[in-house]
Structure 1
């Protein structure tokens, strides 16, 4: 059966704020059940702020092996459990800001590619551009642009088309500087393996500087839809009554384990029905709010927005 798998890229800063920490913690559970991950801590940046990269994956959709940690990158080999022969490399980056470190950054990527052939997917915050159209003004570092473009040509990577947005970063000034810093590239054999894909932006409702990037892939899987318990349910009126009513019916002629299994299944079904009828409108309002924010994000690329 064909289903949709997602690759989510977000350069988040300001994790001292509770709201952003909650989004980072809860988003994978809501969008894909993050079951495993690997981290890379990077040296502090110019503002002496700790930085890092988190690469996460859903064990139901992907198996991961051969994890490599560089100074600015994390790489791993991915394959679908139902098709172990279709393996590909993913590299997530956090590009540095200093010129000499950018040279080291590209050399690190080039060295990885030379020693790891096969389909390759490269994504993250590169902190550099390779085209003048990737910035909304003429203040360009053309030497850095040529260096980045030469790297892409040497490793034969093509960029995935971002639908609906020209830029992913803003300095949030009165006359903002906008740049396309967060992006995704892939080798031609990766495009052959995943011809049905779409890269689109999400609203910047929890990020003051960047938009989210969401890549949707069609993969073959035989998974069934799982029940997901939402932690905020417990704070809503009627939750306790639904659980109590679903738990109450007795089960006869069964051992304790089967009784427990039956009751838990009843509770899951009852909560799913209750959520669809009572909470669906809340999720719709949240989706509408994000749509409005995304429209503002798009308008900011063409004109100055007034408060």
Structure 2
């Protein structure tokens, strides 16, 4: 999955560059912000997408400002429901035919009060779309002072943003290679991290299990071989207990200590983030 604030899609050269990156990374879904297009038709989508199979959903720009576009491969992402406004597109679906989830393309408002209202509106949608969420895009706000090069104190917007993250119970995906995603071209000192991906925990763990080729065969084998006798409810409880223990052991064998591994990876990424701001990384660090 790829998210990108493209700052306009009118130029063919830019669309070719985006298409080349999508193809190189073998992206199944792309989330674009600031298309600056009043309408997007299939021909425009084809100029960005490299696969034969394609579906898309877009929100038109207003007076050539804003605009959001989602493009995906329907063989990977099967859409079941959706909703949108000028600041987001929400897609509820089945991913890889195994994982029921919600993906949201975000282009948050610049105004602090409008952004707070926007956070509340998304939180209110959680009960209507309860599947695990993945939010990606331009959130137009930093979480803490470390995400802005020239920022020294917390403000109301940061508090609102962190409350929003807490309410949704999502985790911020660490960046790889850089510390910031945006800068004001008129002031090189104003670097910020405004773009990000955030997930409910199910995305980081359960989805990894379902996409592993050995997981479903293991579940089937364990369920069929689990011995339990008695009334139906007891048999179900016993089989689930056996299955839970088998999955727990399998998870450790395949993925190791996830909490420890993630913490170690975050520490290594943090060191690289700091280093890349002052020097070119060595080949072994990339």
Deviation at 1:148, TM superposition (A): 0.5
For residues 174 and 93 of structure 2, the distance between their equivalents in structure 1, rounded to whole angstroms, comes to 22
For residues 127 and 204 of structure 2, the distance between their equivalents in structure 1, rounded to whole angstroms, comes to 19
Report the counterpart of residue 144 of structure 1 in structure 2.
Answer: 157
Relative to structure 1, is the Cα distance of residues 144 and 81 closer, same or farther in structure 2, using a 3 angstrom cutoff? Answer: closer
Deviation at 1:76, TM superposition (A): 0.8
CA RMSD between the two structures: 2.9
What TM-score, normalized by structure 1, do the two folds share?
0.57
Following superposition of structure 1 onto structure 2, how do residues 241-260 of structure 1 map, counting pairs within 5 Å?
Answer: none
Report the counterpart of residue 38 of structure 1 in structure 2.
Answer: 57
Note if contact 1:42-1:72 (Cα within 8 Å) is conserved in structure 2. no
What is the aligned counterpart of 2:203 among 159, 167, 190?
Answer: 190
What is the aligned counterpart of 1:59 among 74, 77, 98?
Answer: 74
Q: Secondary structure at the match of 2:92?
A: strand
Following superposition of structure 1 onto structure 2, how do residues 138-287 of structure 1 map, counting pairs within 5 Å?
Answer: 138=151, 142-173=155-186, 175-195=188-208
Deviation at 1:141, TM superposition (A): 5.8
What are the superposed Cα offsets for residues 22-66 of structure 1, whole Å, 9 maximum, x if unpaired?
A: 33455545534261111112435xxxx422111111122221120
Note if contact 1:132-1:140 (Cα within 8 Å) is conserved in structure 2. yes
Relative to structure 1, is the Cα distance of residues 302 and 173 closer, same or farther in structure 2, using a 3 angstrom cutoff? Answer: farther
Report the counterpart of residue 3 of structure 2 in structure 1.
Answer: 9
Deviation at 1:9, TM superposition (A): 0.6
What TM-score, normalized by structure 2, do the two folds share?
0.60
Report the counterpart of residue 97 of structure 1 in structure 2.
Answer: 110
Deviation at 1:130, TM superposition (A): 1.4
* 1:87 correspondence with 2:100: yes
For residues 71 and 219 of structure 1, the distance between their equivalents in structure 2, rounded to whole angstroms, comes to 37
Note if contact 1:93-1:126 (Cα within 8 Å) is conserved in structure 2. yes
For residues 219 and 61 of structure 1, the distance between their equivalents in structure 2, rounded to whole angstroms, comes to 15
Report the counterpart of residue 127 of structure 2 in structure 1.
Answer: 114
Note if contact 2:82-2:92 (Cα within 8 Å) is conserved in structure 1. yes
Note if contact 1:167-1:301 (Cα within 8 Å) is conserved in structure 2. no
**Unaligned stretches of 5+ residues in structure 1:** 1-6, 197-216, 221-296
Bigger RCO (CA 8 Å, 6+ sep): 1
The alignment of Structure 1 onto Structure 2 pairs a total of residues equal to 196
